[in-house]
């Protein structure tokens, strides 16, 4: 009984989805926090797995919307469902850019484009 209760408490906060394409890993977590209006807060981590810095990282996130503000320096609309991560600035090797959004469901975000700094 205690295990079942513990799982109900932990599961909403555990890993929700991972999308990995080449040099970029995108993980979305359910934070377990619900904002006014009933939307769930999701945390997104975009990690550079490349041994070199990457820049101009774009994610495909068609239909993305949120009921809370997202730091535009971390994640902002670029064009037609494509979003720019870290303002297009370099993300160092093994570094992570994080941001949060709130909606009634998570949005699939997949790497679309990036530039690699240097020969890796």
Domains of the chain by residue range: 2-116
Each residue's pLDDT tens digit, 42-56: 999 999 999 999 999
Phi, psi for residue 23 in degrees, rounded to 5: -90, -15
Q: Which tokens hold the place of 95?
A: 């570094």
Q: Strands 54-60 and 110-116: what pairing?
A: antiparallel
pLDDT of 20 strictly over 60 = no
For range 6-14, the mean pLDDT: 44
CATH 3.30.230 fits 2-116, yes or no: no
What pLDDT is recorded for position 67?
96
Burial class (CB in 10 A: 0-12, 13-18, 19+), 114: buried
Each residue's pLDDT tens digit, 59-71: 999 999 999 999 9
């Amino acid at each position: 009984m205690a295990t079942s209760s513990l799982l109900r408490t932990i599961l909403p906060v555990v890993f929700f989805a991972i999308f990995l394409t080449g040099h970029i890993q995108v993980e979305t977590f359910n934070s377990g926090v619900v904002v006014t209006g009933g939307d769930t807060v999701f945390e997104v981590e975009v990690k550079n797995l490349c041994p070199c810095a990457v820049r101009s990282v774009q994610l495909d996130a068609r239909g993305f919307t949120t009921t809370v503000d997202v730091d535009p320096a971390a994640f902002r609309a670029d064009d037609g469902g494509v979003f720019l991560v870290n303002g297009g600035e370099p993300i160092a090797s093994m570094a992570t850019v994080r941001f949060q959004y709130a909606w009634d469901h998570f949005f699939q975000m997949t790497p679309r484009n990036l530039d690699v700094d240097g020969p890796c």
